[in-house]
Amino acid sequence: MKRFFVFLGVVFMTIGSAVRAQEVDSTAPLQKSSWGDAKTADMTDYIPDISLDMRGGYRQDFAESAGRFYGDGLYLDINGKISPHFSYSLNQRIASSYYEDNSGFAGTNWLTLTYEVGSFAFTAGKDALLVGSFEYDAYDLDTYYNMNSSFYNEFDCWQWGVSAAWYPAEDHELLFQFANSPFAYGEPNMFAYALGWRGAWDWYESYWTTNLWEYGDGGFVKSVNLGNRFYAGNFTIDIDLMGRFADNLPEPFNTWNATLSPAYTISDWGRVFVKAGIESVGSPFGGGGFEYFPLKENKDIRIHAAWSYNDWMYGHMIDIGLTWKMNLTGIFTRLIK
- The 10s digit of each residue's pLDDT in 76-124 is 999 999 999 999 999 999 976 655 444 468 889 999 999 999 999 999 9
Amino acid at 284: P
Range of the domain at 61: 2-336
**Where would I find the H helices in 103-253?**
134-137, 150-154
Q: What is the mean pLDDT of residues 134-156?
A: 89
pLDDT of 39 above 60:
no
Question: Alpha-carbon torsion 37, 288, 97, 225, what sign?
Answer: negative
Instruction: Supply the CATH number for residue 8's domain.
Output: 2.40.160.10
Paired with 261 in beta bridges are 238
pLDDT of 21 above 70:
no
pLDDT of residue 315: 79
Q: Which residue has the higher pLDDT, 297 or 12?
A: 297
Element (H, E) at 266: strand 255-266
- For residues 176 and 200, give the distance between their C-alpha atoms in angstroms, rounded to a whole number: 18
**Where would I find the H helices in the chain?**
2-17, 134-137, 150-154, 328-336
pTM, to two decimals? 0.82
Q: How many domains does the chain have?
A: 1
Mean pLDDT for all residues in the chain: 83
**How crowded is residue 288: how many other Cβ atoms within 10 Å of its Cβ?**
19
Q: Which residue has the higher pLDDT, 66 or 130?
A: 130
pLDDT of residue 268: 87
Amino acid at 337: K
